Amino acid sequence: MRDFEGAKKLFKDTIDTKYYFDSVSAEVGKNKILEAIKEKNAPLIFVIADPGEGKSYILKLTNEQIKDEQLTIFIDHPFFDKRDILKMLYEAKGKFFDPSVNFNTLKEEIAKEYKDINHTIFLDEAQLLNDEQMELIRILSDTKVFQFVLAMHKEEGLAILQKKHFKSRTKVIVYLQSLTNDEIERYIKDTLLLNGYGDIGVMFKKKYVKIIGKYTNGNFRMIKKFLYALFGLLSHAKQTGLVKYQKINKCLLVMTALDIGLIDDK
């Protein structure tokens, strides 16, 4: 008996670094980041991709892989004031942050604290930072003490890179790409097989994977969302005894795309 409800849970939109899907783009990107961190050849590392193409995933995965070897700070939300980042750096080092102290003094003190420590600061959604905060990151990176890994949306990220803060700075840029149809097929089948749903995995013929790729444009997050919705429909069909919809067909894929708004039928 096919357990569509169980398979559905595998594609919930959460980041689980225990299961890493080694797409070519992700693998190349991850290795490039690790190499730059190890060699410390650039204080600024930019990870640029469209939303849902795995920036956060790559950042978390890299953080997981190096956090035992060095000090890492992972900031997954933007901060409102430039002092916030200093506060986080102070707290990560176990130091008391005194907001009444002059900003420059705070900056010099924290630079001294981090000078001899191997560390990396991961900053997700960095496209949300304002000019003042960007300038602070630039100043901190110029001290050659701090190393930043910034994940940004493609459109905004490319514009930020053109700004005076970063244009002339030494930096490493990692571009993540969407998945190819072969990679989508491998991702679906591997995920299902590894979790004991091989019988469901065989239902995904190449022609259906191609349709999924067409609707999702190979976007990793969208693929997961699509599969989550698809298994929801399959599960419902099974529960209500609709035999026609208990196996994957073109109509069911269209229904899924309509359900998550990938097809505009208005």
Considering only residues 151, 212, 233, 262, which one is a binding residue for another protein as defined by CB under 8 A?
233
What is the nearest approach in angstroms of another protein to the Cβ of residue 175? 35
Nearer to another protein, 101 or 242 (CB): 242
Percent helix, percent strand, percent coil in the chain, to nearest 5? 55, 10, 35
Nearer to another protein, 62 or 216 (CB): 216
116 binds another protein (CB under 8 A): no
**How many residues in total does the chain contain?**
266
CA gap 23, 212 in Å, rounded: 17
Closest CA to 223 of 3, 17, 23, 6: 23
265 binds another protein (CB under 8 A): yes
Total site size for another protein, rule CB under 8 A: 14
Rg of the chain, C-alpha, whole Å: 22
227 binds another protein (CB under 8 A): no
Closest CA to 80 of 128, 135, 127: 128
CA gap 11, 139 in Å, rounded: 41
Considering only residues 188, 235, 248, 262, which one is a binding residue for another protein as defined by CB under 8 A?
235
Nearer to another protein, 158 or 260 (CB): 260
Q: In sequence order, what are the beta bridge partners of 71?
A: 119
Q: What is the dihedral of CA 121, 127, 133, 138, to 10 degrees?
A: 60
260 binds another protein (CB under 8 A): no
Tokens for 51, please give them.
């939303």
**Binding string, residues 181-220; x marks residues near another protein by CB under 8 A:** ----------------------------------------
102 binds another protein (CB under 8 A): no
Which residues lie near another protein (CB under 8 A)?
Answer: 232-233, 235-237, 240, 242, 251, 254-255, 258-259, 263, 265
